[in-house]
């Protein structure tokens, strides 16, 4: 259960500034990266990479359901799904 929230460590970039924060958050919340990691794990027969890919993908899907999208450099609450809280 704890690993499900591991991608949220990408928010730590916001401690530096919004540009770095948006980059690190988006990196940890990109479906393409999750799929790529899972495929790499499948190809290498590495169950740890497969698990990481599944965790990333499920976390991203859950975030999208809640309305948290990929972030813009403008600030944390500005996403590709609209402004959080509106």
Domain that residue 53 falls in: 9-83
Instruction: Say how far apart CA 17 and CA 5 lie, in whole Å.
Output: 22
Considering the domain boundaries, does residue 16 fall inside one?
yes
Considering the domain boundaries, does residue 2 fall inside one?
no
Considering the domain boundaries, does residue 3 fall inside one?
no
C-alpha dist (Å) from residue 53 to 6, 41, 61, 83: 12, 8, 12, 27
Considering the domain boundaries, does residue 65 fall inside one?
yes
Considering the domain boundaries, does residue 1 fall inside one?
no
* Count of the separate structural domains present in the chain: 1
Confidence at residue 83, expressed as pLDDT on a 0 to 100 scale? 87
Residue 41: enclosing H or E segment and its boundaries?
A: helix 31-44
Confidence at residue 30, expressed as pLDDT on a 0 to 100 scale? 93
Return the bridge partners of 79, or none.
71, 82
3-class state of residue 6 by DSSP: helix
Which positions of the chain have pLDDT values less than 70? 86
Considering the domain boundaries, does residue 52 fall inside one?
yes
Confidence at residue 85, expressed as pLDDT on a 0 to 100 scale? 75
Instruction: Say how far apart CA 29 and CA 9 lie, in whole Å.
Output: 10
Confidence at residue 84, expressed as pLDDT on a 0 to 100 scale? 82
Confidence at residue 67, expressed as pLDDT on a 0 to 100 scale? 86
């Amino acid at each position: 259960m704890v690993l499900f929230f591991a991608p949220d460590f990408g928010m730590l970039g916001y401690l530096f500034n919004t540009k770095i924060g948006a980059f690190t958050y988006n990196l940890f919340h990109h479906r393409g990266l999750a799929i790529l990691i899972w495929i790499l794990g499948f190809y290498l027969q590495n169950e740890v990479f497969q698990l990481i890919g599944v965790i990333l993908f499920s976390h991203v899907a859950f975030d999208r359901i809640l309305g948290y999208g990929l972030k813009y450099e403008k600030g944390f609450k500005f996403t590709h799904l609209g402004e959080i809280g509106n």
